[in-house]
Amino acid sequence: MDEFVRNRLTEWGLSEWIPRFEDEGVDKESLFCLRDCVIDKLITKVGPAEKFRMRLKLLMEEHNTTNQETADVSAHDHEEAGDCIQVIPSTSDTSDKGKRKLDPQGESSKWKSPARKRPHDAMPGSFTDEFILSDVKTIMTYVENKLCNEDNTKLNAFLKTKISDLKIDKRELVGVFGKTGAGKSSLINAVIGEKNLLPSGSVSACTTVMIKVEANMHNPKYEAEIEFITKEEWREELWYLYHTPRENACQEKENDDDDHDTDEKLSALYGEEWRDVSLENLMDSKYFRDIKEFLDSKKKILTCESAEELSEKIVKYTRSDSKVGDGKKVTRQYWPLVKCVTVRVPNNDFLQHVTLVDLPGSGDRNKSRDKMWKGIVGSCSTVWIVTDINRAAAEKEPWEILENASSLMGNGGECQHIHFICTKSDLIEDWDDHLAGAVPALVFKRNMEAKKTVIREFSQQRNIKKHFSENCFKVFTVSSKEFLKGKHLKPEETEIPQLQEFLQDLNDCHSETLNYVSGAYGILSLIQGARCRGVANKKAAVCTELEETLRRELDKVKKPMEEAYEAFEKCLDKGVKESKSSCEGNLKSILYPGGTSGRGFHRILRCVVENNGAYKPKRKEGKEININMKLSSCLTDNIDEEFRKTFPNEGKCGPFSGVISMFSLDTEWLIQKYKDVELQLIFLKTEEEKIKTKVNKTIRDRKKIIYSSLTGTIKANMQACYERAAEFRGPDTLNNMRDAIKKHVHDSKNVMFQVAKDVMLTQLKDLKMYILEELEKSLKESIELSLKTDDYSIPDFSAELNMVKRYRDERQTSQGEEMSLTGADPRGPAAALSP
CATH number at residue 37: 1.10.150.50
Give the per-residue pLDDT at 413. 94
- Verify that 550 and 501 share a domain, yes or no: no
Q: Which of the listed residues 41, 64, 87 is the one where a domain comes to its end?
A: 64
Residue 382 lies in a domain: yes
Give the per-residue pLDDT at 498. 95
Give the per-residue pLDDT at 771. 97
Amino acid making up residue 326: D
User: Are the CB atoms for 209 and 340 separated by under 8 Å?
Assistant: yes
Residues 137-167 pLDDT 10s: 889 999 999 999 888 888 999 999 999 888 7
- Verify that 665 and 772 share a domain, yes or no: yes
User: Are the CB atoms for 834 and 94 separated by under 8 Å?
Assistant: no
Q: Inter-axis angle of helices 510-530 and 733-787, to 10 degrees? A: 40
Look at 500 and 325; give whichever has higher pLDDT: 500
Start-to-end C-alpha separation, the chain: 68
Residues 32-41 pLDDT 10s: 888 887 898 8
**Greatest mean pLDDT range, 322-326, 430-434, 548-552:** 548-552
pLDDT above 50 (res 252): no
Range of the domain at 668: 534-788
- SS3 state of residue 208: coil
H/E stretch holding 386 reads strand 382-388
Give the per-residue pLDDT at 635. 97
Pairing relationship of beta strands 300-304 and 222-228 according to DSSP bridges:
antiparallel
pLDDT above 50 (res 577): yes
User: Are the CB atoms for 262 and 248 separated by under 8 Å?
Assistant: no
CB contact set of 662 (below 8 Å; sequence gap of 6+): 556
Within 227-344, where are the H helices? 231-247, 256-270, 292-295, 307-318
Distance (Å) of CA 112 to CA 191, 309, 424, 440, 646: 8, 20, 18, 20, 42
Give the per-residue pLDDT at 828. 36
Give the per-residue pLDDT at 82. 36
Look at 828 and 39; give whichever has higher pLDDT: 39
- Verify that 550 and 402 share a domain, yes or no: no
Q: Which of the listed residues 64, 87, 112 is the one where a domain comes to its end?
A: 64
What's the CATH code of the domain at 186?
A: 3.40.50.300
Average of per-residue pLDDT across 511-534: 86
List, in sequence order, every residue forming a beta bridge with 354; answer none if it has no partner: 172
Structural domain count, the chain: 3
Predicted TM-score (pTM) of this structure: 0.79
Query: How far apart (Å, rounded) are the C-alpha atoms in residues 59 and 32?
Result: 9
Residue 175 lies in a domain: yes
- Verify that 562 and 671 share a domain, yes or no: yes
Residue 276 pLDDT class (50, 70, 90 cuts): confident
Distance (Å) of CA 456 to CA 85, 100, 169, 833: 61, 39, 39, 12
Stretch among 67-71, 77-81, 430-434, 652-656 having the lowest mean pLDDT: 77-81
Give the per-residue pLDDT at 617. 73
- Verify that 502 and 552 share a domain, yes or no: no
Nearest to 270 by CA among 207, 334, 216: 334
Task: List the helix and strand counts (H, then E) for the chain.
Answer: 29, 13
Residue 241 lies in a domain: no
- Verify that 582 and 500 share a domain, yes or no: no
Phi, psi (deg, nearest 5) at residue 506 = -60, -40
Stretch among 172-176, 368-372, 649-653 having the lowest mean pLDDT: 649-653
Query: How far apart (Å, rounded) are the C-alpha atoms in residues 599 and 613?
Result: 19
pLDDT above 90 (res 762): yes
Between CA 181 and CA 475, with CA 502 as vertex, the angle to 5 degrees is 50
- Verify that 754 and 704 share a domain, yes or no: yes
Residue 93 pLDDT class (50, 70, 90 cuts): very low
Provide the Cα torsion 163, 166, 168, 172; round to 10°. Answer: -170
Average of per-residue pLDDT across 633-655: 91
The DSSP-derived string for 637-667 is HHHHHHHHHHS-SSSS-IIIIIHHHH----H
Residue 824 lies in a domain: no
Query: How far apart (Å, rounded) are the C-alpha atoms in residues 91 and 403?
Result: 47
Residue 238 lies in a domain: no
Query: How far apart (Å, rounded) are the C-alpha atoms in residues 186 and 188?
Result: 6
Residues 308-333 pLDDT 10s: 999 999 999 987 664 444 445 556 89
Residue 724 lies in a domain: yes
- Verify that 671 and 604 share a domain, yes or no: yes
Q: Which of the listed residues 447, 476, 509 is the one where a domain comes to its end?
A: 509
Residue 711 lies in a domain: yes
- Verify that 724 and 635 share a domain, yes or no: yes
User: Are the CB atoms for 198 and 343 separated by under 8 Å?
Assistant: yes
CA 290 to chain centre: 33
Give the per-residue pLDDT at 433. 58
Give the per-residue pLDDT at 140. 92
User: Are the CB atoms for 650 and 469 separated by under 8 Å?
Assistant: yes
Give the per-residue pLDDT at 41. 85
Amino acid making up residue 772: L
Give the per-residue pLDDT at 573. 97
Stretch among 253-257, 362-366, 546-550, 558-562 having the lowest mean pLDDT: 253-257
CB contact set of 620 (below 8 Å; sequence gap of 6+): 179, 361, 397
- Verify that 613 and 559 share a domain, yes or no: yes
Residues 791-801 pLDDT 10s: 778 888 998 99
pLDDT above 90 (res 227): yes
User: Are the CB atoms for 417 and 474 separated by under 8 Å?
Assistant: yes
Residue 250 lies in a domain: no
Q: b or e along 432-444 (b: 16 or more beta carbons within 10 Å of the residue's beta carbon)?
A: eeeeeeebeeebe
Average of per-residue pLDDT across 61-70: 54
- Verify that 470 and 615 share a domain, yes or no: no
Residues 780-793 pLDDT 10s: 999 998 988 777 78
- Verify that 683 and 587 share a domain, yes or no: yes
